[in-house]
Amino acid sequence: MKTNKSSKDNFSDAFPVIRFDYNKRLIGSNLTALPLLSSWNWRKGSKIPSAVWNSYPEWEKALNDQSPSGCKVIFGELNIWFDVVPFPEAGYIGIYGYHVESLVTKDVPEKLRMAA
């Protein structure tokens, strides 16, 4: 019999979800985030590559000011908008994708499925 495991760490959203701790180490992601993380050469347990960190000052603002913000990531032919939300009590910053737009075509859902 197959059972469904439900937990806060089990991301099933179609949008990328990334979490890093206050030491800038990747602590979690969902499957949709894997192509993006791979392109950044960022793996679970490793620090954010400096080129990536320097590209998104919103992440540093969330880390230092504990204030939520947003950012846009260009990934291949896609624009991906993220909410950047600090959770100081839990010890991490969450980056939650909420909108994806194709730079070239209207096949965004299919591109996300193929990337995951």
DSSP H or E run through 59: helix 57-65
Contact 91, 97 (CB under 8 A): no
Band of residue 36 on the pLDDT scale cut at 50, 70, 90: very high
What is the architecture of the domain spanning 17-115? 2-Layer Sandwich (3.30)
> How, if at all, do strands 26-29 and 69-75 pair?
unpaired
Count the Cβ atoms, other than its own, within 10 Å of residue 89. 6
Quote the longest CA-to-CA distance of the chain: 47
| Domain assignments of the chain as residue spans, ordered by start | 17-115
At 80-101, the pLDDT tens digits run 999 999 999 999 999 999 999 8
Higher pLDDT, 106 or 20: 20
Contact 37, 26 (CB under 8 A): yes
Residue 114 clears pLDDT 70, i.e. is over it: no
**31-45: b (≥16 Cβ within 10 Å) or e:** ebbebbbeebebeee
pLDDT at res. 66: 93
* pTM of the full structure: 0.76
